[in-house]
Structure 1
Amino acid sequence: MQTISKKTKADVLLHNDVPVLTYTIHYPSFTSTCSSVTAPAISQFYEIQSRQAEKYCREVLYPQAVENAMYAKDNEFPFHSYEFLSDYDVTYNEDCITSLYTDQYSYLGGAHGNTLRQSQTWDFQTGDQLNLTDFFPDVKALNNTIFQVIKNDISNRMKDAPASYFDDYPHLIRGNFDMNAFFLKPCGLVIYYQQYDIAPYASGIPEFFFPFVDCTEDAASS
């Protein structure tokens, strides 16, 4: 079993005493009863990710924010401070398996921000990431069954909200499919697509649940 603690990197970056960028980066750190070796290595994975995200904020977003603030001041436009928020959600943590996703939200002064999702599922006995093929070992079934389920699910959703997906979603669900875009939940797994991959911004990050056939009713409700 894994114990998870939250770590945070955060700062408010100024230009001429004006806050132009605020960033908050939450990331997990693990201990585990399954192995004394794998937990520090997996924790290091997220520590490195957090450093990369902080570097991106300070070396890429901050200069952009300063340039935008100076342009707004020179042209007497309102300036909206940039924001970067990264946070994670643990969706499964049982025995030696932990699954989670991280959403990175960026607001760059436009009409709205954008969110990018990444996910990992870990085996703390081996230290390896599990792949979608670990749960769908039959590649042919992966190509046929998964896309058909997603297509049928979207078709049903569009009966209540006709504009919730792009018209060419049957093509997009294949073209934009990412083998790494999944996470576990009790009794199943969720496959997701990024914003704009198959649906408008208002639909957020589309998710599709695939239950495990051997799932018990008690586990499904947990």
Structure 2
Amino acid sequence: MCDQLKLEPFVARREWTADGIPVLTAELSLPRPVGESGQAIRRLDRYYQLYARSYLRYCERWLFPQSAEAYRLALETSAPLPQDSARLSYHVTCNGGGILSLYTESAETCGGHTERRRRGDSWDLLTGYPVPLSACFPRKSPWRKTLLRRSETEIERQERAGAARYYEGWRRLLRRNFNPDHFYLSEAELFWFWQMFTIAPSAEGIPAFSMSYGEDDCFFPGTRDKIET
């Protein structure tokens, strides 16, 4: 069994121009396994190589036309030319115990506004397949209700302390926008999050919440059998 992976960043950069003038730059950095072999490792490598190609294709097909149009409008109105950018990076939060967990985050600046998106990935290094959020709780556990309840409690605490401000009706938005794929792991905690703008204004960024293993029956994937026997 592969207990942990050695990773190196795979880096790529692209630039798109209008009339020979750069209007959009994209940079990405994604993990690439090195020094290991096997089907599971190859599966992870293919996944992130495909992710890189897909992101650059998204920039070309979706962001570049917007940047080119902004460039033409700027010429017509004698406004400053756009300097749009898209950056995709990753942060490893757990690499051990047979689990690789990380999140990728994109930051797209177009028209002077920046939008961030996060994506959580957790992998079983034995199989090369994703670890679901349910793997952190006992079978038949109401884990969705648990995570929503803990999120509500934390938001209430933050608002009472004046530390953050959420949209009016955030309780309804929490449930409507909850996505069980939006999570990642550390060696000590489970983290889950909502995307930017879904439950709070842009000033709050990407709202994320956490709880330690051992709380509310939460545990690190792979220790389920130990707990249930």
TM-score over 0.5 for the pair: yes
Name the counterpart of 2:128.
127
Name the counterpart of 1:190.
191
Give the root-mean-square deviation of aligned CA atoms. 1.8
In structure 1, the gaps of 5 or more residues are: 216-222
Structure showing greater relative contact order (alpha-carbon pairs closer than 8 Å, 6 or more residues apart): 2
Alignment coverage as a number of residue pairs: 213
Deviation digits for residues 151-184 of structure 1 (CA, Å, limit 9, x no counterpart):
1111001112275111211111111100000000
Residues 193 and 207 in structure 1, CA contact (< 8 A), matched pair in contact too: yes
What is the letter of the counterpart of residue 188 of structure 1? Answer: E
What percent of counterpart residues are identical? 26
Which of 45, 49, 68 is equivalent to 1:43? 45
Name the counterpart of 1:103.
105
In 2, the alpha carbon distance for the partners of 1:41 and 1:143 equals: 29
In 2, the alpha carbon distance for the partners of 1:5 and 1:54 equals: 20
TM-score by length of 1: 0.89
Name the counterpart of 1:219.
none
1:25-36 map, 5 Å: 25-31=28-34, 36=38
Question: Bigger CA drift: 126-135 or 55-64?
Answer: 55-64
In 2, the alpha carbon distance for the partners of 1:67 and 1:139 equals: 52
Deviation digits for residues 121-175 of structure 1 (CA, Å, limit 9, x no counterpart):
0001011100011112445521332211111111001112275111211111111
Name the counterpart of 2:224.
none
Distance 1:139 1:80, change over 3 A: farther
Residues 32 and 124 in structure 1, CA contact (< 8 A), matched pair in contact too: no
Deviation digits for residues 50-79 of structure 1 (CA, Å, limit 9, x no counterpart):
001111222332222112101110121222
TM-score by length of 2: 0.87
Residues 14 and 21 in structure 1, CA contact (< 8 A), matched pair in contact too: yes
Distance 1:163 1:123, change over 3 A: closer
In 1, the alpha carbon distance for the partners of 2:53 and 2:65 equals: 18
Name the counterpart of 1:11.
14
Residues 67 and 82 in structure 2, CA contact (< 8 A), matched pair in contact too: no
**4+ residue stretches of structure 1 with deviation over 6 A?**
none
In 2, the alpha carbon distance for the partners of 1:64 and 1:144 equals: 40
In 1, the alpha carbon distance for the partners of 2:67 and 2:101 equals: 34
User: Does 2:83 correspond to 1:53?
Assistant: no
SS at match of 2:78: coil
Deviation digits for residues 165-208 of structure 1 (CA, Å, limit 9, x no counterpart):
11211111111100000000121210100001111100011111
In structure 2, the gaps of 5 or more residues are: 220-229
